[in-house]
């Protein structure tokens, strides 16, 4: 049972695509559920990406602002979830893998300060009382500002990075700032460049917890709702996501057992700068 926040940085691949791949491959024991919450203040992507606008904008964060003011947040939260259980290519019990869609207009983020705080409390309660796992998509900017409380209250915060010079240079300041604020920051590495995981860890002073391939065609199924190729569930991206999800569960469980939220310590190696590929 864990609450895991995913954050991005300039030059990184889609955090949302990585989050969806993990959601659809999360290891679930009987009675357990997985919730992905799109908490990117710049706007969500799943409603008009993977779901191709089929549900309109009836669901999502924007509907929770009124519920907070009325003191009806808990009940309203569950009504805003969309069942994605069928999207992973396997038949499961309904509502095992659920999505809280994000806002559809970045301007809506200005009214969400009380929602972020209520969500942080809600996610801790879901973890403690129901034994469900929560994955929070913070996008490129959501780990800071008012929505940053979600990263602070998560069991672990992970930054999605590519192993390219551009992304690693951009990620250094972001990872360092997050480590100072929440501690125990890890990395999800999108393998799209020349630098090996060990070099990425050395530069960013944070451990690579999971690695996903840069598989553009498979990723488009999740990011844009492209038609699923045959055996999509057994594609390289989905296989890597299954392995990565298991590793994230193990890491979060260890951090829950040893560290209070926001008081973790990084496990990275000595830092440095990337100059060229080996």
Q: Structural domain boundaries of the chain?
A: 3-258
Tell me the average pLDDT across 73-79: 92
pLDDT at 56: 75
Give me the DSSP letters along 139-181.
TTTTTSGGGGHHHHHSSEEEEEEESSHHHHHHHHHHHHHHHHH
pLDDT at 259: 63
Tell me the average pLDDT across 60-74: 89
Distances (CA, A) of 168 to 89, 125, 199, 242: 34, 35, 10, 25
Cβ atoms of residues 174 and 159 within 8 Å: yes
Q: Which of 51-55, 192-196, 251-255 has the highest mean pLDDT?
A: 192-196
**Tens-place pLDDT, residues 25-39:** 999 888 788 999 999
> What is 3-258's CATH topology?
Rossmann fold (3.40.50)
Q: pTM here? A: 0.89
Tell me the average pLDDT across 119-139: 88
Q: What is the β-pairing status of strands 97-100 and 34-38?
A: parallel
Name, in order, each residue with C-beta under 8 angstroms of 216's C-beta and a sequence gap of 6 or more.
none
- Which value, in Å, is the radius of gyration of the alpha carbons in the chain? 18
| Nearest C-alpha neighbor of 24 from the set 186, 218, 190, 207 | 218
If pLDDT is split at 50, 70 and 90, which confidence band does 158 have? Answer: very high
């Amino acid at each position: 049972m864990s609450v895991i926040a995913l954050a991005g940085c300039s030059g990184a691949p889609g955090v949302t695509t990585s989050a969806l791949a993990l959601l659809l491959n999360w290891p679930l024991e009987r009675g357990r559920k997985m919730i992905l919450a799109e908490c990117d203040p710049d706007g969500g992507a799943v409603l008009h990406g993977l779901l191709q606008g089929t549900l309109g904008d009836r669901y999502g964060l924007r509907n929770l602002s009124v519920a907070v003011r009325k003191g009806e947040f808990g009940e309203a939260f569950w009504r805003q979830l969309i069942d994605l259980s069928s999207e992973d290519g396997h038949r499961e019990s309904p509502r095992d893998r659920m999505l809280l869609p994000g806002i559809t207009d970045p301007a809506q983020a200005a009214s969400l300060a009380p929602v972020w705080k209520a969500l942080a409390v809600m996610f801790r309660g879901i973890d403690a009382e129901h034994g469900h796992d929560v994955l929070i998509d913070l996008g490129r900017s959501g780990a800071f500002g008012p929505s940053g409380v979600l990263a602070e209250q998560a069991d672990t915060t992970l930054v999605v990075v590519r192993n390219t010079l551009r992304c690693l240079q951009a990620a250094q300041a972001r990872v360092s700032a997050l480590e100072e604020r929440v501690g125990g920051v890890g990395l999800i590495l999108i393998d799209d460049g020349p630098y090996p995981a060990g070099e990425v860890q050395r530069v960013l002073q944070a451990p690579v917890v999971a690695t996903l391939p840069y598989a553009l065609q498979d990723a488009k199924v999740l990011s844009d709702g492209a038609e699923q190729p045959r055996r999509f569930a057994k594609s390289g991206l989905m296989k890597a996501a299954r392995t990565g999800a298991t590793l994230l569960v193990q890491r979060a469980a260890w951090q829950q057992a040893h560290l209070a939220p926001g008081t973790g310590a990084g496990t990275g190696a000595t830092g440095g700068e990337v100059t060229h590929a080996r």
